[in-house]
Amino acid sequence: MTSISFNSTAASALSLLTGSNKALQESQDRISSGLRVNQAADNAAYWSIATSMRADNLSLSSAEDATGLAAAVTDTAALGMEQATSIVSDIQSKLILAKAVGGDKTAINSEIDVLKDQLKTVAKSASFNGQNWLNLDKGQSPQVESMVASVSKSSEGQLSVNVIDFDTAGSTLVSAENADDGMLTRSYSGTTATGSAYEYYLLDPGATTPTSASAKPISLSASTTNDDIDGMIAATNAMMSSLTDAGAQIGATASRISQNTEFLADLQDVTAKGVGRLVDSNMEEEATRLSAAKVQQQLQTQMLNIANSGTRSSLSLFM
C-alpha cells in the first residue's frame, strides 16, 4: 500500500540530491578559488600553517623591496666612485704630462681645474633617495648606514630583521664639515723618491674644519718645479689607492646585497610552493569531481521527479 502522507522514495532522492548539490558547490568553489583549504573549517591545521607562511612571505617581500632600495644606493655610490677614480687618474696623467719638456703648465692647470669641477659634481650627484655616501655637507659626519638584508623567525615565532652595515667614512670623497673626512679634501704628505717633502690636497670645499694649514692645493703654474710636480703625483697616487680601496668596499657591499635579494626571491618562491602543497586544489581532480557531481545531480533530479510522479499517480485515484 502506498502512503500519501510521506513519500520515502522521494525523501531519499531529495537527500541524495542535496548531497550532490553540496558536492557540486564545493567543487565549483575549489575551482574558482584554486584552493582546497579556503578557510579554517576546511582543515584547521593546514589553514593555520598556510596563514602563518603567507605572513612570512609578506615579510620576505618587504625585505626584498628594502634590499632593492639598498642596492640602488650602493649602485649609485659605486658609479660615482668609479667616475671619481677615473677623473683623478686623468688628473694624475695631466701632472705627469706637465713634466714634459716644453709642457704648458698653465694650460694643463686649466684642464685640471675643469676636472676638479667634475669631481665636485660627481660627489654631489651620487645621491639616491637622499642617501649620498660620497659627499658630506656642512654639519654632516661619516656614519654607519644599516641596510635590510633579510628577515628571520625564531623557533618561538619572534621576527628579526638582519642588516648589512656600511661605514661611509670609507667612501666619503668630499666633506664640507671636516676636510680630513674626505679622500679628495684631506691632505696627503710624504717624501718623494728624490727626498723632497710634500703635503697636498686636491679639492677645497671651504670646510668648517679645513685640512692641514701647511698643505698646498694640487695646482700648476709657470713657476711650478719638477720637485713640486713629483709631490703632487705622489699625493694623487696615494689618493688613487684610497679611492680603489673604497670602490672595492662598495663593490663587496653591493655584491652581498645582490646575493641577498636573489636569495629572498628564491625563498619566497619556495615558501609559496610549500603553501600550495598544503592548500591548493588539484585542478584536474576537481574538474573530474565537478563533472561527476553534475552527472549525479542530473540523475538524482530525475529520480526525484520519478518518485514524485508516483505520488501524483496515487493521489489521482482519490480525485
Q: Does the pLDDT at position 19 exceed 70?
A: no
pLDDT, mean of residues 141-160: 80
What pLDDT, on a 0 to 100 scale, did the predictor assign at position 311? 54
CA 165 vs CA 149, 195, 262: distances in Å: 9, 42, 19
Mean pLDDT of the chain: 82
0.85 surpassed by pTM: no
Q: Does the pLDDT at position 97 exceed 60?
A: yes
65-79, 148-162, 241-255, 273-287, range with the lowest pLDDT = 273-287
The answer to whether 108 touches 94, Cβ cutoff 8 Å, is yes
